[in-house]
Structure 1
Amino acid sequence: MLTRLDRDVLFVPGIRTVVVTQGLEDIVAGHDDVDIGSALGLLRDQLKGWGIKVIFTTLTPCDGYSACTAAVDQNRIDTNTWITDQTDFTSPTVSYVDAEEIVAVTDTASTADPQALKLGNDTAPADFDSGDHVNLTADGYNAISDAFDLASLGPDT
Structure 2
Amino acid sequence: MVDPTVTAGNGTESAKNHFTKAVEQAKAGAQALAGEYKDKFSQTKDEWTSEAKVKSEEAKEKAGTFAADAKVKAAEYAVEGKAKASQAIVGLSKVIDDNSALIDEKVGAKYGDYARTASKSMQDAAARLDEKSLEDIGEEAREFVRKSPGLAIGIAAATGFVLARLFRGK
Q: TM-score, normalising length from structure 1?
A: 0.22
Which has more helix, going by share of residues?
2
Please identify the structure whose Cα radius of gyration is greater.
Answer: 2
Point out which structure has higher relative CO (alpha carbons under 8 A, 6+ apart).
1
Which has more strand, going by share of residues?
1
Q: TM-score, normalising length from structure 2?
A: 0.20
